[in-house]
Amino acid sequence: MEKIPMTRAGHTALEAELKTLKSEERPAVIQAIAEARELGDLKENAEYHSAREKQGFIEGRIKELEGILSLAEVIDPTKLSGAVKFGATVTLVDEDTDEEKTWQIVGEHEANIEQGLLNVKSPIARALIGKDVGDSVEVHTPGGDKAYEILSISYL
């Protein structure tokens, strides 16, 4: 299987979610199922069916996280430099609106555009990879073509 790149912070967050699911969520839903069983007829027991559904979700998420973490390749951006690569924090200016944006290029499982974490597989990240400060980048997005200039690159 192909390795999944991620930052140390992303890896730590997924490990924390997995730990919470296993140590808190799973036991709580098992307890809820046991309590619902005590109420009698399971065919018409909404609490039981709800708890079983939640248990299925939790078990599925645990398997998903275990799979992701088993294939994770943690990349330390502080050991990198130069042109844009995975882990880089890039400040861009939109050449049309002069709006500045700063994004860190991260793995797909830790991406969160509202927090400035850009999926390495996104059109913008793919266009930025290999470019340097001062370069102009044309990005083909579903919303139309955009042009950005790279103002700075850092590896925090």
In the chain, CATH 1.10.287.180 sits at 4-74
In the chain, CATH 3.10.50.30 sits at 77-154
Per-residue pLDDT band for 46 (boundaries 50, 70, 90) equals: confident
Q: Which CATH class is domain 77-154?
A: alpha beta
Residue 150 CB-density burial (10 A; 0-12 exposed, 13-18 middle, 19+ buried): buried
pTM, two decimals, is: 0.82
- Asked if residues 97 and 1 have their Cβ atoms less than 8 Å apart, the reply is no
pLDDT the model gives residue 140: 86
**Residue 111 and residue 105: Cα distance in Å, rounded?**
8
- Asked if residues 45 and 35 have their Cβ atoms less than 8 Å apart, the reply is no
The string of pLDDT tens digits covering residues 21-34 is 999 999 999 999 99
CATH 1.10.287.180: does it fit domain 4-74? yes
The string of pLDDT tens digits covering residues 111-124 is 999 999 999 999 99
